[in-house]
Amino acid sequence: MTPPAPGPAPTSATPTTAPAPARADGRRPDELRPVTITRNWLTSAEGSVLVEFGGTRVLCAASFTEGVPRWKKGSGQGWVTAEYAMLPRATNTRSERESVKGRIGGRTHEISRLIGRSLRAVTDVAALGENTIVLDCDVLQADGGTRTAAITGAWVALADAVAWAVRQGIVAPERRVLRDSVAAVSVGIVDGVPVLDLPYVEDVRAETDMNVVVTGGGQFVEVQGTAEQAPFDRAELDVLLDLALGGAARLAEIQRAALAEGSPA
């Protein structure tokens, strides 16, 4: 007797999920661009770093000066602040220098204050004494995420400036000026997919764009998010924040590795 022909193979009750499509540069949605931090890029600054997030390159220089602004005098506390700027040809077309225009743009003010706030969030200004550290963050080449790269690099330059002050005997070695590290990363929704560390080609067409500042301990310092096209819901926000936490943790590892390579003389 001929056995009956086999029927169709049973189908799984659990649907398979197709992997998210690769991005234009071949990265996974949760993958950072190549990140490098080169210390001691300048010979004169107390701390200096060239930080690269893919095609974005930012030079961060930390200058240590004794004394504080007038409104901090007599407080026994120091001050950490930042200034941000872009070279005229950091982008595809030349932009006029703000010094030539005679005024600082709103975006420049906003980013400068963001960098300063982020660094002060992990700094014990009382341990710094009445001293000031200024971080100059100059964008050499912009391909998205300039403010997040600036924060990430500026913290390493700040750490080197604090170490310099300790070596010079200006700050006592037992004082813990830096309570934690801090880094920042962009996240967004592009073509309906949540992605980490957006280059310009993604940033310019993102439905949602967000910059997230996170300490080395995984605490949020600042979250800046905007629905560029359609509003986003709570579930999407949670996914974006989880992406940012993972990216920031990897950036913290890169910061630690950069500092472990040895201290300047």
Residue pLDDT, tens place only, 196-221 = 999 999 999 999 999 999 999 999 99
Tokens 């595809």, located at residue: 92
Its pTM stands at 0.89
Q: Assign 10 a pLDDT band (cuts: 50, 70, 90).
A: very low
H-type alpha helices, 79-199: 98-101, 106-120, 125-128, 146-167
Nearest to 61 by CA among 164, 198, 213: 164
Domain ranges of the chain: 35-259
Using alpha carbons, select from 81, 222, 215, 233 the residue that is nearest to residue 161.
81
- Whether pLDDT at 41 is above 60: yes
CATH number of 35-259: 3.30.230.70
What 3-state DSSP class applies to 61? strand
pLDDT digits (tens, 9 = 90+) for 117-164: 999 999 999 999 999 999 999 999 999 999 999 999 999 999 999 999
